[in-house]
Amino acid sequence: MTYDFNRLPDRRNTNSYKWDQSEKLFGNPNVLPLWVADMDFDSPPAIKDALIKRAAQGVYGYTIKPDSYVDAIVNWFTRRHGWALKPEWLCDSPGIVTSLSLAVDLFSEPGSKVILQSPVYYPFYEVIKMNGREVAKNPLLLQNGRYEMDFDHLESLMKDGAKLMLLCSPHNPGGRVWEKDVLQRLGELCLKYGVIIVSDEIHCDLTYEGHPHTPIASLSDDIAQITLTCLAATKTFNIPGLHSSFMAIPNPQLKRKFEQRIKTFSLHMMNYFVPYAIEAAYNESEGWLDELRVYLKGNVEYALSYLEEHLPEVVPMRPEGTYLLWVDCRGLGRDIDGLKKLMYQEAEVAFNEGSVFGTEGEGYLRINLACPRSVLEEGLRRFCEAAKK
């Protein structure tokens, strides 16, 4: 089956977080939004059909988690990632950030240091600080146009007493897909110093050819025992509004502690629509994902080529995964406010301004490439023409 990723769904006036806030957020209703990480594509038909069928039942009562939902998850990760997830490892959470926050609260002490690798998805900072912990930055090193981990500095943070690490794998915003040997070295360091890993792997299905995703918990039983892996179908299949995620926690003590806190906040009940959507995603939408990845790779190549030709002052980082493009705009000579003015007022386009990902992101912009090619072309044209003026 062929899916039409060139069609732009009309999302205006649908209470869209992305499309219906341009005036409020950017002071300009005409801003083209290429920022928040959801896709401007129709979600897979099988998911839509499953939700319509579920809605048609007409009684929207409390819902149990069916075995078929768990089977769909287990089979997906075995099939797509070669990871033999066990059903007893899984527990549900409303979202990845909720899981990150609960993990920080449960597995670190108030006032202690929690490691992240900057620049990184901005809620990482929030869940550390808002839980009364201290951010321990392990800045990534920019080498040959891609990010690498600074293991010497990372070890110094662990020696200094940090006992929890938030890992972003694949990396957002840099699009880096960490290789098995890199993750193995990271895991062994954490084992050596007794550090628990909370791994955000929400972009695991969105990698490009030659860059397979490795779940860090799949590397060894020892590493699995210190790892909580945050997963979801929401990024993969464009269903973030359903607020569904799950965790794989092989260590029964860590899992018991996490599930107890989930229940304490009464977050343990299953949303009425979620199991049906997730089963349709993992059991019936694999073909959609395979075509999507080809289309997204085309958008990557288009964006890289367009920026090189029309605005060589900026340097994009070639993504190995995700549908996000991290662009070094320091060559434009603008500060944070200057970049915002360039986007929102002069170009009438919204990318993510880079400093929200940490001070290492100042001067960068993050562009969401998950849109029809015509929309991407328009956004890049607006930006490049404004920047050249």
Q: Residue 353's pLDDT is what?
A: 98
Neighbours of 124 (CB within 10 A): 27
Q: For residue 30, count CB atoms less than 10 angstroms from its CB and return exposed for 0-12, middle for 13-18, buried for 19 or more.
A: exposed
Q: Residue 1's pLDDT is what?
A: 73
Pairing verdict, β 196-200 and 227-231? parallel
* pLDDT tens digits, one per residue of 246-262: 999 999 999 999 999 99
Tokens representing residue 287 in the block: 């073909």
Q: Residue 182's pLDDT is what?
A: 98
* pLDDT tens digits, one per residue of 312-352: 999 999 999 999 999 999 999 999 999 999 999 999 999 99
Q: Are residues 357 and 317 in contact, defined by beta-carbon separation less than 8 angstroms?
A: no
Q: Residue 91's pLDDT is what?
A: 97
C-alpha dihedral, 327 to 332 to 338 to 341, nearest 10°: -70
Cis check for the bond before 119: say yes or no (omega within 30 of 0): yes
Q: For residue 357, count CB atoms less than 10 angstroms from its CB and return exposed for 0-12, middle for 13-18, buried for 19 or more.
A: buried
* pTM higher than 0.85: yes
Which of 382, 388, 307 shows the shortest CA–CA distance to 345? 382
CA 25 to chain centre: 22
Neighbours of 174 (CB within 10 A): 28
**Domains of the chain listed by start with CATH number:** 22-44+286-388 (3.90.1150.10), 62-283 (3.40.640.10)
Residues 127, 125: Cα–Cα separation, whole Å: 6
Mean pLDDT, all residues of the chain: 98
Tokens representing residue 323 in the block: 């549908």
